[in-house]
Structure 1
C-alpha cells in the first residue's frame, strides 16, 4: 500500500469516528456524557482537518472552484 492509499484510509476512518462522536453528542442523556463526546468530536475534527491538509498539500485531495452562478442558484433555491 502506498502513502496516498494509506492516508485515504486514515481519512476515511477518521470521518467515521467523527460521525460516531457526533451521534454520541446528539444522543447524550447527561451533560457529562455530552461534554465527553463533544470534546472527542472536536479533537477528531481537528485531526481530520490535519489529515486533509497534508493530503491536499501533496495533491492527493484535489478540489475545484465552484462556479459563482451555481452557488447563486443553490442560494436562491433555499432562500425562496
Structure 2
C-alpha cells in the first residue's frame, strides 16, 4: 500500500472515530433516556428479561467499544475508496 492510500485511510478512520465520539456525547444520552422511559411505560425489550440497569450497561458498552471500532474500520475503507487507494 502506498503512503497516500495510508494517509487517506487514516483520515477516514479519524472521521469515523469523530462520528462515534459525537454519537457518544449527543446520541447516547437520548437513547438511554428513551430506554428508561420505555421501562417506565412497561415496554418489552428485544433483550428478553434483562433489567433496566443491564440494558443500559449493554447499550453503553456497544456505543463505547464495538461502535468506534466498526466506524474506524468503515471510515478507513471509505477513505481508501474515495481517494483511490483501494
Bigger relative contact order, structure 1 or 2, given CA contacts below 8 A and separation 6+? 2
Answer yes or no: same fold by TM over 0.5: no
TM (norm. structure 2) is: 0.37
